[in-house]
Homo-oligomer: A and B are copies of this chain.
């Protein structure tokens, strides 16, 4: 029984890694679609989000099934409950990639943001991609150093997010209302993407060390 349970937990873990890896590809494609105004790539991200949603639902079913059959307690129970939460956060990260891709598709053939912000959005995208890759690796290895790095990356995303507002609200901003709306939304999506990554990193850190980093924000 115990051995079966361990195998099932491993299955859960592998599936979380799989979804996190897909999310990393999605945010990379979404960022490229957004920055290069690539509508076919945007459409792929939107299609891939359905796949991420489906994998998350299947994983939830597996986790609930494990709860019902194995009736885990203590740490084992917390692992399964955490898997449910992590799956939900990964699903939202996929949504954020989808939303960024939708902005790109909606404005096509125009580029979404004006020149003065492009470098910032390239940087935000790169950071989000790195965070998602580290997250997949963290889920695979439970190397808490990665959780720490993800939190540091998030501080940089927050700074970039603020800098978008400073630019948009600054005197040199030449963008029209459309540019302002797009920059506001895209920046918010990147920032939320990173928040979800941190939230997952905290849960894995907690499970790996038994040390509760901080309550949900």
Residue positions of A touching B, CB distance < 8 A:
53, 56-57, 64, 67-68, 71, 73-74, 77-78, 81, 84-85, 88, 91, 165, 168-169, 173, 175, 177-178, 180-181, 184-185, 188, 215-216
Chain B residues lying within 8 Å of A181, measured Cβ to Cβ, are 165, 168-169, 180, 184
> Is A53 a contact partner of B185 (Cβ separation < 8 A)?
no
> Is B64 a contact partner of A68 (Cβ separation < 8 A)?
no
- For the complex of A and B, list the 6 residue pairs with the smallest distance between their C-beta atoms, beginning with the closest: A71-B71, A180-B180, A184-B184, A68-B73, A177-B180, A181-B184
A44 and B81 CA atoms in complex are apart in Å by 32
Question: With A68-B77, A77-B68 given, is the CB distance from A177 to B188 under 8 Å?
Answer: no
Copies of this polypeptide in the complex: 2
> Is A216 a contact partner of B53 (Cβ separation < 8 A)?
yes
Cβ distance A160 to chain B, nearest Cβ, rounded Å: 16
11 A-B residue pairings within 8 Å (CB atoms):
A53-B216, A64-B81, A68-B73, A68-B77, A81-B84, A85-B88, A175-B177, A177-B180, A180-B181, A180-B184, A184-B185
Name A77's contact: one of B67, B77, B78 (CB within 8 Å): B67
Chain B residues lying within 8 Å of A88, measured Cβ to Cβ, are 85, 88
A94 and B175 CA atoms in complex are apart in Å by 33
Cβ distance A177 to chain B, nearest Cβ, rounded Å: 5
Cβ distance A58 to chain B, nearest Cβ, rounded Å: 11
> Is B169 a contact partner of A178 (Cβ separation < 8 A)?
yes
A67 and B70 CA atoms in complex are apart in Å by 12
Chain B residues lying within 8 Å of A173, measured Cβ to Cβ, are 177
Chain B residues lying within 8 Å of A165, measured Cβ to Cβ, are 181
Name A216's contact: one of B78, B91, B185 (CB within 8 Å): B91
Cβ distance A103 to chain B, nearest Cβ, rounded Å: 12
Cβ distance A127 to chain B, nearest Cβ, rounded Å: 21
Chain B residues lying within 8 Å of A68, measured Cβ to Cβ, are 73-74, 77
Cβ distance A30 to chain B, nearest Cβ, rounded Å: 18
> Is A216 a contact partner of B81 (Cβ separation < 8 A)?
no
A67 and B178 CA atoms in complex are apart in Å by 49
